[in-house]
Amino acid sequence: MSKPEFVYVTYIETTPEKLWEALTKSEFSERYWWGTKILSNWKVGSPFALEWRGTVTDTGVIVETDPPRRLSYTWSNASEEFRNERPSRVTFVLEPYGKLVKLTLTHEDFEQDSKMLQGVSKGWPAIMSSLKSMLESGQALDVPLAALKIEGVE
């Protein structure tokens, strides 16, 4: 079995329940994810979608759900640029330690030399940092897209 291509670990002063809500409800994701809605009923086998300004940008299927500990879904970008790439897989693992939750995000199963991997590797740190700030201070970050330094994105 190959290793996950992308792993991001962050420690957040919150509860697993609050973090789970932030990961699964649009009212929160819109605040920390540049206005992106997360759409699903979060049942295994159900569709998953990201929607930005009324357009579905990414789709997938719920693979695993064990609230508030573990969530996994497949991920395909809807744009022309990534059409030929197979779905990758995102997994969140939430582990409480006292007043903290250790959140481990893995994003794996990309094509060889995947362009998607390059993009998500720059996107997730901004999204996860904003999520952490929102849960700890009540204020999400407004990370300028230019800071990500993704080719073609300003």
How far apart CA 70 and CA 50 sit, in angstroms, is: 19
Q: Tell the smallest beta-carbon distance from residue 126 to other proteins (Å).
A: 6
65 vs 130 by CB, closer to other proteins? 130
- Residue 78 found at the interface with other proteins (CB under 8 A): no
Q: DSSP string spanning 23-82? A: HH-HHHHHHHTTT-EEE----TT-EEEEEETTEEEEEEEEEEEETTTEEEEEEEE-SGGG
Please pick, from the candidates 143, 146, 150, 152, the single residue that binds other proteins as defined by CB under 8 A.
143
Listed residue (92, 84, 95) closest to 6, CA to CA: 92
Q: Tell the smallest beta-carbon distance from residue 10 to other proteins (Å).
A: 8
How far apart CA 72 and CA 36 sit, in angstroms, is: 18
Please pick, from the candidates 46, 137, 145, 153, the single residue that binds other proteins as defined by CB under 8 A.
137
Distance linking the first and last C-alpha atoms of the chain: 36
Please pick, from the candidates 147, 150, 151, 154, the single residue that binds other proteins as defined by CB under 8 A.
147
The answer to whether 35 and 53 have CB atoms below 8 angstroms apart is yes
Please pick, from the candidates 49, 78, 93, 141, the single residue that binds other proteins as defined by CB under 8 A.
141
Listed residue (116, 106, 114, 109) closest to 77, CA to CA: 116
- Residue 139 found at the interface with other proteins (CB under 8 A): yes
CA geometry: angle 21, 26, 32, nearest 5 deg:
85
Q: Taking CB under 8 A as the rule, which mask of x and - marks residues 102-131 in contact with other proteins?
A: -------------------xx--xx--xx-
By CB under 8 A, what part of segment 14-73 binds other proteins?
A: none
Q: Tell the smallest beta-carbon distance from residue 30 to other proteins (Å).
A: 18
Residues that bind other proteins (CB under 8 A): 8, 10, 121-122, 125-126, 129-130, 133, 137, 139, 141, 143, 147
